Structure 1
Amino acid sequence: MSNALVEVRDLAKIFDVSPPWLNRVVERKPKAFVHAVDGVSFSIEKGKTLALVGESGCGKSTVARLLVGLYKPTQGQVRFDGADTAQTLAGPGGQALRRRMQMIFQDPYASLNPRWKVQDIIAEPLREHGLVSKPEALRERVGELLRSVGLSPVDAEKFPHQFSGGQRQRISIARALATQPEFLVCDEPTSALDVSVQAQVLNIMKDLQRQQGLTYLFISHNLAVVRHVADQVGVMYLGRLVEVADKAQLFSAPRHPYTRMLLDAIPDIHMTGRARTPVQGEVPNPLNPPSGCSFHPRCPHANARCKSERPALSEFKGVRVACHAVEEGRI
């Protein structure tokens, strides 16, 4: 896609979770591997938001860390503005690339250094990338960044423990914006916050996107949040993408049975008479995933082919979906 800022091709990450060597010898157990991300491909256009959703443990956060270079991919490629990020980060252009892509972490209580003042927390990327060095200019820039996220320049002299959760997450956003990035990876940035505070933080993020033309990868398990922020939605299950569609299309006509199951579980004020359907079954053990389509043990439409053959993510009426039942017209 010519207008894509970020392109991910067949991305995979395998973790070795084997017990220590001596334990394996004594218990006669083989090595154990988890396919946290298993052949994921997508692209994000400039100025747009792609949201990745799914149950805990489906690989969303691993994708986020792979995109910003915190993990090295086992296989596949991440391209940013046409260049391979793994090669760029390993070469002389690595620092310039890191300046263009930043990450907002899930827990505002853990991602800020409790011993540092807000001034030092937000000024760190400015110093690290050599953008501002003089103390007066640093103070002024930190004040601007705090104002951009709805805080006061006076807050620069406080410590993280003096703020609420929502205010801490705003500080995290200000730190991420310090290098004037083009691409922000947001790993469940509002999941640790109250609902009213979530709305404030999401509105700030939407305003910043409009003002600065930011591109977001937004990780979430909350479909109500996704509906508010996303342009496109990717649904993940056990390390794989099962459906990718525009937001309006995904919410109005979900294709994959897993997407339907997630949407059925959302309370709807306009359908108060309808019994709410909980998400059926449990996510399988990633150390021993099911054969064929990994969703088949929980799927009401599964047949023999689903149990033996893994579906590929293919185009179907403008939606990318990995499902034999959809492909064969059974649903």
Structure 2
Amino acid sequence: MSLVEVNDLAKTFDVSAPWLNRMVERKPRQFVHAVDGVSFSIDRGRTLALVGESGCGKSTVARLLVGLYGPTRGSVRFDGMDTGQVFASPQARTLRQRMQMIFQDPYASLNPRWKVVDIVGEPLREHALVTDKAALRHQVAELLKSVGLAAADTEKFPHQFSGGQRQRISIARALATQPEFLVCDEPTSALDVSVQAQVLNIMKDLQRERGLTYLFISHNLAVVRHVADQVGVMYLGRLVELADKATLFGSPRHPYTRMLLDAIPDIHMTGRARTPVQGEVPNPLNPPTGCAFHPRCPHANARCSAERPALNHFRGIRVACHAVEEGRI
């Protein structure tokens, strides 16, 4: 049973110059299609990871799911409810209790003037889950213990912690309302590799204990391999491949997925032929025609530059590629 269902989700941002500049320079308005028709579902208790290079729309998807942005097109359904309608209604508070977000930068997402008891306790106060101070302190201490910190840390300020400890505080804050769904926007990318492993292990343990459902955003495929059940690969606002983890890492189909996997250092020295990621991500203000990946693709032909591929089912996975469809690769 799917807890989260995303259908044809799109978000367009107006990035035009001010009106007077446009009039003087005779320039049209400019729009960026940050997310352009993304569809996926996440089963209860499972983890879907979205991967791709910077600027492909992963973080925008995360913000659309938790209601920080409103979609330009499409819908997000959570436990059967249309979140767009619920966020605009009095039931929004209850829905926000059930879904929370962990942000990328633990140095920017915690208020430096607040003690940990206030930071982690804020969701409890906002949602009126705890009324008196003693109960609040006890609840915050328990949350800190669940992420491997001490009860005594409640009286400290964020600057007294390392990056990994701060991210644990962020996780404790996200867990305060006992959510079912966590959106994790690159939660370990600002941390050292050794600390990344600790934070990821805590998140996996919490998922097992509490039956949490995760959307995990990352550009690091090694991290994704550790946490995900399913993987979606994004390129310039669209999903190009969606498969379960074993299939995606074992036999990737889309040329872009293959390039991303080839860019991972080969520690086993298998001697397999590798093609590192070639070229740059195109300017999103002026994306290529047809398949957005065709200028960088070794298998592109005339159809690829003219016709945009749809995300179709192919041998148990979903892939958007004319070359795969035609059996050229």
TM bucket (normalised to shorter chain) is over 0.9
* Identical columns (%): 84
- Of 277-286 and 253-262, more deviation after overlay is shown by 277-286
Unaligned segments of structure 1, at least 5 residues: none
Which position in structure 2 is the counterpart of 1:119? 117
- What CA distance in whole angstroms lies between the structure 2 residues aligned with 1:319 and 1:50? 14
Matches within 5 A, 1:3-42: 3-42=1-40
Q: 2:315 aligns with which of 314, 317, 321?
A: 317
Q: Is 1:45 equivalent to 2:18 in the alignment?
A: no
Q: Is 1:214 equivalent to 2:208 in the alignment?
A: no
Matches within 5 A, 1:199-278: 199-271=197-269, 273=271, 277-278=275-276
Letter in 2 for 1:246: D
Shift of 1:276: 5.4
Letter in 2 for 1:268: D
- What CA distance in whole angstroms lies between the structure 1 residues aligned with 2:282 and 2:308? 15
- What CA distance in whole angstroms lies between the structure 2 residues aligned with 1:277 and 1:116? 48
Q: The residue matched to 2:28 in structure 1 has which SS?
A: coil
Residues 266 and 276 in structure 1, CA contact (< 8 A), matched pair in contact too: no
Shift of 1:268: 1.7
Cα deviation code 1:289-313 (max 9, x no counterpart):
0000000000000000000000000
Residues 5 and 80 in structure 1, CA contact (< 8 A), matched pair in contact too: yes
- What CA distance in whole angstroms lies between the structure 2 residues aligned with 1:284 and 1:161? 39
Which position in structure 2 is the counterpart of 1:130? 128
Cα deviation code 1:230-289 (max 9, x no counterpart):
000000000000000000000000000000000011112112645754210100000000
Cα deviation code 1:8-67 (max 9, x no counterpart):
000000000001011111111000000000000000000000000000000000000000
Letter in 2 for 1:40: V
Which position in structure 1 is the counterpart of 2:104? 106
Letter in 2 for 1:236: M
Letter in 2 for 1:271: M
Which position in structure 2 is the counterpart of 1:192? 190
Which position in structure 1 is the counterpart of 2:73? 75
Q: Is 1:173 equivalent to 2:171 in the alignment?
A: yes
- What CA distance in whole angstroms lies between the structure 1 residues aligned with 2:272 and 2:253? 21
Shift in CA distance, 309/275, structure 1 to aligned 2, threshold 3 Å: closer
- What CA distance in whole angstroms lies between the structure 2 residues aligned with 1:196 and 1:23? 49
Letter in 1 for 2:134: E
Which position in structure 2 is the counterpart of 1:281? 279
Shift of 1:95: 0.4
Shift of 1:89: 1.1
Unaligned segments of structure 2, at least 5 residues: none
Residues 292 and 311 in structure 1, CA contact (< 8 A), matched pair in contact too: yes
Letter in 1 for 2:253: R
- What CA distance in whole angstroms lies between the structure 2 residues aligned with 1:123 and 1:276? 49
Count of residues paired in the alignment = 329
Question: Under a length normalisation based on structure 1, what TM-score does the superposition of the two structures give?
Answer: 0.98
- What CA distance in whole angstroms lies between the structure 2 residues aligned with 1:134 and 1:213? 29
Letter in 1 for 2:255: P
- What CA distance in whole angstroms lies between the structure 1 residues aligned with 2:81 and 2:327? 39
Matches within 5 A, 1:133-148: 133-148=131-146
Which position in structure 1 is the counterpart of 2:88? 90
Q: The residue matched to 2:198 in structure 1 has which SS?
A: helix
Q: Is 1:162 equivalent to 2:160 in the alignment?
A: yes
Which position in structure 1 is the counterpart of 2:54? 56
